[in-house]
Structure 1
Amino acid sequence: MDSSKLVEIVTIAIVGGLAAILANKGIAVFNDGLRPVVPEYLEGKISKKELAATSFAMSFGLVIGFGIPVSIGASILLVHSVLLMTDIIGTWAPSGKKGLIISGVVGAIYGVGLVLGLQAVVDAFALMPVNFMDSLSQVGAPVVISFSIFPAVAIASQHGFKKGSISFIATLLTLFIVKQFGTFNLGNGTTLTLSAEGLSLLVGMIFMIYYAIKVKSDGSNSNESLVSVFLERVNKIKKNWIWLSVTGGVISAATSLLLIAGDPISLNLMSEGKFNEAALAAFARGIGFIPLVFSTAIVTGVYSPAGTTFVFVAGILLRGNPIMAFIVGVLLMFVEVQLLTVMAKALDRFPGIREMGEHIRTAMNKVLEIALLIGGAMASESIAPGIGYFWVIGLLLLNQKAKRPVVALAVGPIAAILLGIIVNLLNLIGLFTPVVTG
């Protein structure tokens, strides 16, 4: 094995190991939808088993149905195929020192396994009698678009239906306009497509902050009591700045080695050698992710191992120089963590923004619950047409009556995965034949 290949293997192993450890410690998870759930476990509101089940349900289908297939043929891993699985590994591993060791080792092995055997993994799933992995990718489809709805829901909850409706319409118009007119020709046959979901979320966040700032203070000097509302959670992130900074640096280094990419657009551009365009696409994506990552971090005290994703931009611009990419990535993540503290202090000066936190968490959970349920139903119907909707609705209602119900967020995805397993077992004994289309 040559030295360059060894460097790549060691780098991806460190990425996988560190990310899994961060998930196990509750410091950072990559799945935006999982971030609001982690504090529920840390505060004892849900069990370790429920957290693990939720993580698996939310991420596994995206790993197999989205992350890995997108990576095939490009020789570059879509980071979702790595970090979504390390979320699962970290949450499934036990707590304490034993869990950290298990998370780090398994996460590292998984990262190396992806680099060495990506195609073998997909081929193994293809050997199943009924291939339901393609259908599982539909589980996360509604989440991407529906996430930009949560600011309007939070506004309606905090400020009333009228303001929530205004925000919803503005978000919808942004989504429509960017989808229709957000593609720009950069020359040489290259195009840049803005993230409609990211920009519509940004507009919704602007409305949410604007309405919150308009709430007048009662005149009392309550900054000391307000510090605990946001800064307690932000300080949790700040305390772990070394873990986060090193992880950000390693992710940037892995990007510079062309091992991983942050999104399908930059991945395809990188695989074609269009690195400047890839960096621009990654930068535009990062801008759109600032409100999402910062807001969820401030509210939940849980960060993303890739931060606001600007570490990918640094990696692309510093391609072939992993050491410099690592240094810049560390600095970028450190600056992000410090900005969180500044933003949290600013938020504490406004009572409306202080109160906004709980509305954000509630809105996120509700939006995710509905989106994942719809995605699970879509995937189940694709797996077993004519049965899927019945299956998901039935499990949803029965779950509500169970003595120990599954977390609502996990019902749709778990239902789809269970149905996929069941139809394969039925196929083996000749009781199910998949519908062939086309």
Structure 2
Amino acid sequence: MSTLLASAADAGSTSLDFSLAQEMTVIGLCALTAFIAHMALAVFNDGVRPFLLDFIQGRTTRSATAAVSFGLSAGFIFGLGAPMALSTGVLNPWLLFLPTDVLGILSPKRWLAPLLGGAWGAVVVFGLGGANDLAHDLPVDFLTALQQMSTPILFLFTLFPMLAITKQFGRLRGGIAGVVELVLVVFTMKMWPDVFPGAIAMAVGVLMLIGFATTKDLGQRRQQRAEAAKAAVGGGGSAGGDSTGAPAGTGAATEPEDPTASLFSASAARMRRYLPLYMVLGAGVCLLAQMHVFGGGEATSFLIAKGDYSGAAQVDFYRVFGFIPLIATTALASGAYAIAGFTLVYPIGYLLPNPWLALIVGALVFAVEVLALSYLGRLLGKLPSVRDSSEHLRNAISESLWLAILFGSLMAANAMGGGLGILIVGGLYLLNEAMGRIVVRMAAAPAAVIVGGVLLNILYWLDLFTPVKG
């Protein structure tokens, strides 16, 4: 276990130097995602996707939609995406795909969108390395200090299934899940010290949540069928009509038409028309994940940085369950898919042995996802508890990561500046809260570490601060 933690702590020394193939993949994928965003076929930001329906139907302008995208994305780009990439040496979707959302939607011409996206990809692959080297040469190395976030993120993230179970099914089941997860973490640390200790615990926790939700839905369906059968038997004696008193044959028993059915059908048809383009997108995202210079999440970035690709695959696989219902329903409602799909291409890509296989599998995965959207929409409509579990999972992931990032950022502040560092970073975070969260909560603490690091370097140059040793 000490080896695992040491490797995670050393992840910040990873250089942001890319091979030619990696550079071309990043630039090409950024160009493609900007082009797809321009056509309103897919965006990465889940909050932007619902706004695309008005844009697609001509009820709002391109510039207004781009303003919404920038407003919802800027904090994550500069407060989370950039700090995570600089501190781990691993690229992430907030840094790559949120800017291409904005650039693609903003571009007035179709041919300009891929040029802007490709230019952003070039800035990332050619500019981050220099910024990384510069930051590490400063008297107060705040990027290395940011590595303090790794341990809180890796371990607190493990608890998100317990939080989701507690919120949805109560304290008793949540407490049982927490005890089970703790036992599994301790057992894994003891028996398999080189394995990410949260992997098995998260798997069991997610399975428990799905089991509770599925059992509840199936029980409710059985109860509804029993009540319907009982009502049918009780109303069987009504002559010439049904139990509602309507004349026979009038169709009064026909279910009302779902007003969203036609919208969902049109959206699914629109996405199927562009299936080849989605397949190219899936191939590109899967290829980038296979190159091991990209992590799909906060915990994943640290695991990729230390070479634990199987652990990263497990973490991102469990996250999928929290996002399938959200992505499926927003895609069917808006006619725009997600840049990473259901994010299944992340864990698959991490584990594939070569890039050619990643291209093929990524394309096939996206094809299956797009073609299955209508079926998933109908299925989720029949399983309300499972659908609710997805929302609880997303909220639990956000809560656990928010605490981990905040705690890790304060640890980073202490590492680079002691009490003064904590004062500056904690003060900036609290100021952001008091001002109505100008920077989104998840990104505020890492952004405060970077700003605090700059301020501490200025104080050092003014001979007002001595860097913390060790």
TM-score (norm 1): 0.70
Q: How far apart are residue 268 of structure 1 and its match?
A: 7.9
The residue aligned with 1:247 is: 281
- 2-side partners of 1:28 and 1:384: how far apart? 39
Q: How far apart are residue 60 of structure 1 and its match?
A: 1.7
* Structure-2 change in CA distance of 1:261 and 1:86 (3 Å): closer
Q: How far apart are residue 55 of structure 1 and its match?
A: 3.2
- Asked if the contact 1:347–1:353 (Cα under 8 Å) also holds between the matched residues in 2, the reply is yes
Which of 71, 80, 90 lines up with 1:49 in the alignment? 71
Which of 297, 300, 303 lines up with 2:324 in the alignment? 297
- 1-side partners of 2:443 and 2:396: how far apart? 16
- 1-side partners of 2:469 and 2:455: how far apart? 18
Q: How far apart are residue 160 of structure 1 and its match?
A: 1.0
- Asked if the contact 2:199–2:311 (Cα under 8 Å) also holds between the matched residues in 1, the reply is no
Which of 219, 224, 232 lines up with 2:224 in the alignment? 219
* Structure-2 change in CA distance of 1:314 and 1:141 (3 Å): closer
Q: How far apart are residue 252 of structure 1 and its match?
A: 4.5
Q: How far apart are residue 370 of structure 1 and its match?
A: 1.9
- Asked if the contact 1:139–1:413 (Cα under 8 Å) also holds between the matched residues in 2, the reply is no
Q: Secondary structure at the match of 1:200?
A: helix
Which of 326, 344, 360 lines up with 1:307 in the alignment? 344
Q: Secondary structure at the match of 1:433?
A: coil
* Structure-2 change in CA distance of 1:6 and 1:360 (3 Å): closer
- Asked if the contact 1:143–1:371 (Cα under 8 Å) also holds between the matched residues in 2, the reply is yes
Identity of aligned residues (%): 22
Q: Secondary structure at the match of 2:419?
A: coil
Over residues 353-399 of structure 1, what are the superposed CA-to-partner deviations in whole Å (9 max), with x where a residue is unaligned? Answer: 23334333333332232222212222222221112333344334433
The residue aligned with 1:124 is: 134
Which of 423, 428, 432 lines up with 1:395 in the alignment? 428
- 2-side partners of 1:372 and 1:327: how far apart? 36
Bigger mean CA offset, 284-293 vs 149-158: 284-293
Over residues 141-193 of structure 1, what are the superposed CA-to-partner deviations in whole Å (9 max), with x where a residue is unaligned? Answer: 5333333322221221121111111112222223333333346xxxxxxxxx5
Give the letter for the 2:157 counterpart: F
The residue aligned with 2:202 is: 201
Q: Secondary structure at the match of 2:91?
A: helix
Over residues 280-301 of structure 1, what are the superposed CA-to-partner deviations in whole Å (9 max), with x where a residue is unaligned? Answer: x756753553331242232255
- Asked if the contact 1:139–1:375 (Cα under 8 Å) also holds between the matched residues in 2, the reply is yes
* Root-mean-square deviation (Å): 4.4
- Asked if the contact 1:41–1:48 (Cα under 8 Å) also holds between the matched residues in 2, the reply is no
- Asked if the contact 1:13–1:111 (Cα under 8 Å) also holds between the matched residues in 2, the reply is yes
Which of 417, 420, 428 lines up with 1:384 in the alignment? 417
The residue aligned with 1:60 is: 82
Q: Secondary structure at the match of 2:466?
A: coil
Which of 401, 410, 417 lines up with 2:443 in the alignment? 410
- 2-side partners of 1:365 and 1:338: how far apart? 29
- 1-side partners of 2:36 and 2:186: how far apart? 37
Over residues 241-270 of structure 1, what are the superposed CA-to-partner deviations in whole Å (9 max), with x where a residue is unaligned? Answer: 5554313313445677x685767878888x
- Asked if the contact 1:245–1:334 (Cα under 8 Å) also holds between the matched residues in 2, the reply is yes
**Mapped pair 1:158 → 2:168:** yes
* Structure-2 change in CA distance of 1:266 and 1:416 (3 Å): closer
Return 5+ residue gaps in structure 2 as ranges.
Answer: 1-18, 54-64, 229-254, 331-337
- Asked if the contact 1:61–1:139 (Cα under 8 Å) also holds between the matched residues in 2, the reply is no
The residue aligned with 1:352 is: 385
Q: How far apart are residue 53 of structure 1 and its match?
A: 1.1
**Mapped pair 1:174 → 2:196:** no
Q: Secondary structure at the match of 1:385?
A: helix
Give the letter for the 2:414 counterpart: E
* Structure-2 change in CA distance of 1:367 and 1:22 (3 Å): farther
Q: How far apart are residue 133 of structure 1 and its match?
A: 1.1
The residue aligned with 2:16 is: none
For 1:90-169, list aligned pairs within 5 A.
Answer: 90=100, 93=103, 95-98=105-108, 104-105=114-115, 107-109=117-119, 111-112=121-122, 120-139=130-149, 141-169=151-179
TM-score (norm 2): 0.66
Give the letter for the 1:163 counterpart: R
* Structure-2 change in CA distance of 1:180 and 1:135 (3 Å): same
- 2-side partners of 1:55 and 1:48: how far apart? 10
Bigger mean CA offset, 12-21 vs 93-102: 93-102
Q: Secondary structure at the match of 1:387?
A: helix
For 1:231-270, list aligned pairs within 5 A.
Answer: 242-253=276-287, 260=293
- 1-side partners of 2:192 and 2:260: how far apart? 40
Which of 28, 37, 40 lines up with 1:14 in the alignment? 28
- Asked if the contact 2:405–2:445 (Cα under 8 Å) also holds between the matched residues in 1, the reply is yes
- Asked if the contact 1:378–1:388 (Cα under 8 Å) also holds between the matched residues in 2, the reply is no
- 2-side partners of 1:238 and 1:145: how far apart? 38
Highest Rg: 1 or 2? 2
Give the letter for the 2:164 counterpart: A
Return 5+ residue gaps in structure 1 as ranges.
Answer: 30-34, 69-79, 184-192, 270-280
- 1-side partners of 2:151 and 2:396: how far apart? 19
Q: May I ask how many residue pairs the two structures share in their alignment? A: 388
- 1-side partners of 2:398 and 2:146: how far apart? 21
* Structure-2 change in CA distance of 1:94 and 1:27 (3 Å): closer
* Structure-2 change in CA distance of 1:146 and 1:117 (3 Å): same
The residue aligned with 1:277 is: none
